[in-house]
Structure 1
Amino acid sequence: MKRPRDENFPVASLVLSPEHRDAVLAFYAFARMADDIADTPELKSAEKLQRLDELEQALVAGDPAIPEAARLHAADRRHKAGLVQARDLLRAFRQDVVKARYNEWAELIEYCRFSANPVGRFLLALHNERSAAQAPADALCTALQILNHLQDCGKDYQDLGRIYIPLRWMMGAGSERAFFEPSHGALRRSVVDAMLDRVDALIDQAQSLPEHLQNRRLRAQSIATLALARLLSERLRRGDPVLERVQVSKADACGAFLRGLSGTLRRPVNGDHRITAAMVRRSGSSFRLGMQSLHSDRRRAMHAVYAFCRAVDDIADGAAPPSEKRAFLREWRREIDRLHRAPETPIGRELARASTLFKLPVEECHALLDGMEMDSAERLRIASDYELNLYGRRVAGSVGALSIRIFGVPSAHDFALDLGRTLQLVNILRDVDEDAACERVYVPLSRLAQLGLQDAPAATLVADPRFARVCDGLAEEARAGFTAADAALTRLDRAALKPAILMMENYRRVLARLQARGWGTRQGRLRLSTADRLHLISRAMRPA
């Protein structure tokens, strides 16, 4: 049997009070025994199920013949916590005996509802915490469980024949066997990263847990656990759990608990804005300079809009199957629909705040989601100029329409839509090869057909010299768009639109570099030089 100190995350740390710690250790010992029964290779399935049934009966009766059951039964009588949650765990352990594969994300989340969430609910009940803490606690427990699944995926596959990574996601790597093939690290990486995107969203949802907790010791443990969860997610993004053991170190654990202890000195405050700001920092977006030039409330609102864009774009670009992507985007539609009632995510709460302050048109968020649904197709082609304009309006015009209201220039609506289309054209031209690798072609098929080029695999299309000629035409349209934007700015408040101007100048330089390089000699995605970035920084520091 494992001991509490052998687990990846704190089980019954010394931070907890002795009375609560004893109850937690009783709960852990019972769960550990049940888990070992479900995982042992010496027993057949029928015998495992029988033993789990006997264990449950002993728990309910407090049978001294099974000390682990009797101890938890006694703890439940003292604290009114443990029995219900342990029986939920037993449901998950029975499932482990009979089910070794999960087809999609929703199945895995449903499993975590019984295999992980009861642990958090037990701790909340043990400490008489309020119901408001339950949702973030559930999110944290689910995140921890999936992190453990990813961490142990190679071991679970080899030793138990069990896979928690959704089968339909693994098909992106070719097959179940191909996913675990040591040499297929790049294919495996995309699937693991897509799962970690979902895990990080759960950790973000859980970030509000400490502020809901009344017990200072439990709050300290929650802060430490959140810190370790983020660290393990970062390590899993850099390591390959099939080839190596990816874990946090003892030094990491000590640092996390120091953070937890510091959290007991003052009452935690809402940290939603820190989450959206961190997403902007991690992105390295060229728009970040423009956002930094804004005053605090406007900058915070732009962080919320950008974080929303980043979250849904990561869904569309990730390795999940198209049907799963659409399901995740539907979750975001529901979040947008409840912005002015009770949003459930940090991004949603920050968007709600921005919407109230700056009267944001929420339908623009839905327009962006429409565009992301287009991007979520397994194979994407743009049929005509009309469809190209519609796509640009959804994915770029929507962001412009939201942004100019935050800038305080709602009269610049048409300018924002036109500039959005121009910037999207530059994006399309810059990312031709990257998109083709995902079987996406945004250059309209109608334009290619005029030169006698018919639809084909994306790599074939973009390699044809005629494709470069069409790109040249789109580049001229983008140049004309920048010229039109310059003219429109003479009639608008340039100081208020400084972030948009910085973004425009960034993209104008990208277009110039693309045209100088030429369309027939592409060598991957073009990036601006250090001199270009220094020029933009100097512009950002000057008045508009």
Structure 2
Amino acid sequence: MSIDAGQPSKRPRDENFPVASLVLSREHRDAVLAFYGFARTADDIADAPELGAAEKLTRLDALEQALVAGDTDIPEAARLHAVETRHEAGLSQARDLLRAFRQDVVKARYHDWAELIDYCRLSANPVGRFLLAVHGERGSAHGPADALCTALQILNHLQDCRKDREHLGRIYIPIRWMLGAGSEKAFFEPSHTGMRRDVFDAMLDRVDALIDQAQSLPEHLQSRRLRAQSIATIALARRLSGRLRQADPVLERIQVSKADIGMAFLQGVRGTVRAPSSSDRHVTAAVVRRSGSSFRLGMQSLGPERRRAIHAVYAFCRAVDDIADGAAPASEKRAFLREWRRELDRLHRAPETPIGRELARASTLFKLPVEECHALLDGMETDSADRVRLAGDYELGLYGRRVAGSVGALSIRIFGVPSAHDFALNLGRTLQLVNILRDVDEDAACERVYIPLSRLAQLGLQDAPAVTLVADPRFARVCETLAGEARAGFADADAALARLDRRALKPAILMMENYRRVLDRLQARGWGVRQGRLRLSAADRLHLITRAMRPA
């Protein structure tokens, strides 16, 4: 029986990422090319437009039988069978790939993120496992290699989403994520760029987390050549993720450039001449750097170990906040937050993410109360709901304690001032009040209202769509009251600082002054005239930089 699907649709050089780059030895490159040739043959069968589903499955079965037997009538199967004989690698990984290709024949949609990840375990991860096995690498490399392969697969799915839908009838963007547009058809409507952008960015947040997990891969590799290829591949994955954030793959083809490939290759080569170092602290530092947060000024005033620890806390906060604010369905957000709870439970055993490992290190050095991390997750679960309303002042206080007080309680231990616990909780609540006032319209667009319904009811305002509530003139009066409470909170913080070590608390003081200026600007603008999110001026930022350079 013929299993030929025609000429291969792609060659190794047509792929986004290195397949059998010249940094690999000739022996290993030949093995990788044999694996690639077999996989391309199977992929072309699964994608062949002229074949029906039954015929595709029959040909894939025949291809598997040829692989197991080493049938010389099927050269792609015979070559990979020879690799299995020589390296004890190729057969099991190729059979997993065949399961994925059979799935492509019969399954064209994925309900949620978990289903997509399960597919990637078959369609992508075996490629990395094969490379590791051929090079005789250790099992410790499996986790980061799987993360990298899954990230690469999803990047390709995003990159090819229009082509896959039009030519293959397949979509790898989870159905539930697309329903934010109302339907699959609406999601792919060219004019719906804003809504589609939110979904792509939420998916890329998950991809970037996978790339972060993959960042430690070179540290686990004994082969310098494979290490070079892994470094180059990680660099290209980051580059493609960045390009996908800047443009819409439904409207245009997005890919890495030759310059990107050249730079990644040079990074890989550099990786062969120096021993790999721990990448985890670089991951958390990069999160802080990308954030542009004004809190960075305070972090820079800390010594190396304290700064590294606060980076870990900030990166954790950023990761879970991005989940809560992203465009994933509420149930998916809760699932992602549960993953973080499991990671927190592993902190003192074997955390699986770079942020988790850095958080574990900080927890050990500075005796961080991990229950505060769980409290933050409780607050993020509130934010993850499709609709957020707080009934009364108790709920407002509890929410502020969870999302802001927890961060303060962790931070003051890193600063070395555990006696400032009450100060941290009170300041956290004050800063959160400012956040609420600053983000009224932004939150309303997400159907979130954090000013308690009980306060609105006192002025005759009943619950309604968020944009209706915040547009009512009476809403401004409630904002004024909340602003007065924030002012009182800053005054209490000033009084408390008179009894505390101001030098050690300098990062908190800088944060406090930043938010105090935000409140000043909000009050100067007025609560009834809001024109987008308020941002500090260059003069404000210069003032904060000057404060940061002075002793506390």
TM-score for both structures, normalised by structure 2: 0.98
Gaps of 5+ in 1: none
Which of 232, 245, 254 is the aligned partner of 2:262? 254
State how far apart, in whole Å, the 1-side matches of 2:216 and 2:44 are: 33
Q: Does 1:86 align with 2:94?
A: yes
Q: Does 1:292 align with 2:300?
A: yes
Quote the residue 1:342 is aligned against.
Answer: 350
State how far apart, in whole Å, the 2-side matches of 1:13 and 1:280 are: 33
Q: Does 1:208 align with 2:220?
A: no
Quote the residue 1:486 is aligned against.
Answer: 494
Quote the residue 2:457 is aligned against.
Answer: 449
Matched AA of 1:130: R
Quote the residue 1:17 is aligned against.
Answer: 25
**Superposition pairs of residues 324-363 of structure 1, within 5 angstroms:** 324-363=332-371
Which of 60, 67, 70 is the aligned partner of 1:52? 60
Quote the residue 2:3 is aligned against.
Answer: none
Q: What is the CA-CA distance between 1:266 and the residue it aligns to? A: 1.2
Which of 153, 161, 174 is the aligned partner of 2:169? 161
State how far apart, in whole Å, the 1-side matches of 2:497 and 2:223 are: 55
State how far apart, in whole Å, the 1-side matches of 2:466 and 2:127 are: 48
> Which digits, 9 at most, give the CA deviation of each residue in 1:472-522, with x for residues without a partner?
000000000000100000000000000000000000000010011101000
Which of 189, 199, 202 is the aligned partner of 1:181? 189
Q: Does 1:465 align with 2:463?
A: no
State how far apart, in whole Å, the 2-side matches of 1:271 and 1:143 are: 18
> Which digits, 9 at most, give the CA deviation of each residue in 1:324-343, with x for residues without a partner?
00000000000011101000
Which of 530, 548, 552 is the aligned partner of 1:522? 530
SS in 1 for 2:140: helix
> Which digits, 9 at most, give the CA deviation of each residue in 1:289-334, with x for residues without a partner?
1111111100110000000000000000000000000000000000
Q: What is the CA-CA distance between 1:280 and the residue it aligns to? A: 0.4
**Superposition pairs of residues 25-64 of structure 1, within 5 angstroms:** 25-64=33-72
> Which digits, 9 at most, give the CA deviation of each residue in 1:185-208, with x for residues without a partner?
111000000000000000000000
Matched AA of 1:156: D
State how far apart, in whole Å, the 1-side matches of 2:86 and 2:347 are: 41
State how far apart, in whole Å, the 1-side matches of 2:418 and 2:288 are: 24
Q: Does 1:228 align with 2:231?
A: no
State how far apart, in whole Å, the 2-side matches of 1:408 and 1:163 are: 51
Which of 257, 263, 266 is the aligned partner of 2:274? 266
Quote the residue 2:5 is aligned against.
Answer: none
Q: What is the CA-CA distance between 1:4 and the residue it aligns to? A: 0.3
Matched AA of 2:119: Y
Percent of residue pairs identical: 84
Give runs of ≥4 in structure 1 deviating > 4 Å: none
> Which digits, 9 at most, give the CA deviation of each residue in 1:430-460, with x for residues without a partner?
0000000000000000000000000000000
Q: Does 1:322 align with 2:330?
A: yes
> Which digits, 9 at most, give the CA deviation of each residue in 1:332-377, with x for residues without a partner?
0000111010000000000001001100000000000000000000
TM-score for both structures, normalised by structure 1: 1.00
SS in 1 for 2:164: helix
State how far apart, in whole Å, the 1-side matches of 2:508 and 2:21 are: 50
Q: Does 1:384 align with 2:420?
A: no
Q: What is the CA-CA distance between 1:251 and the residue it aligns to? A: 1.4
Matched AA of 1:382: L
State how far apart, in whole Å, the 2-side matches of 1:338 and 1:57 are: 42
State how far apart, in whole Å, the 2-side matches of 1:516 and 1:74 are: 76
Q: What is the CA-CA distance between 1:75 and the residue it aligns to? A: 1.0
Matched AA of 1:447: R
Q: What is the CA-CA distance between 1:531 and the residue it aligns to? A: 0.2
Quote the residue 1:77 is aligned against.
Answer: 85
Aligned pairs, number: 544
The CA RMSD over aligned residues, in Å, is 0.4
Quote the residue 2:4 is aligned against.
Answer: none
Q: Does 1:129 align with 2:129?
A: no
Which of 105, 115, 134 is the aligned partner of 1:107? 115
State how far apart, in whole Å, the 2-side matches of 1:506 and 1:225 are: 40
State how far apart, in whole Å, the 1-side matches of 2:36 and 2:535 are: 52
Q: Does 1:536 align with 2:544?
A: yes
SS in 2 for 1:183: coil
Matched AA of 1:421: R
Q: Does 1:66 align with 2:80?
A: no
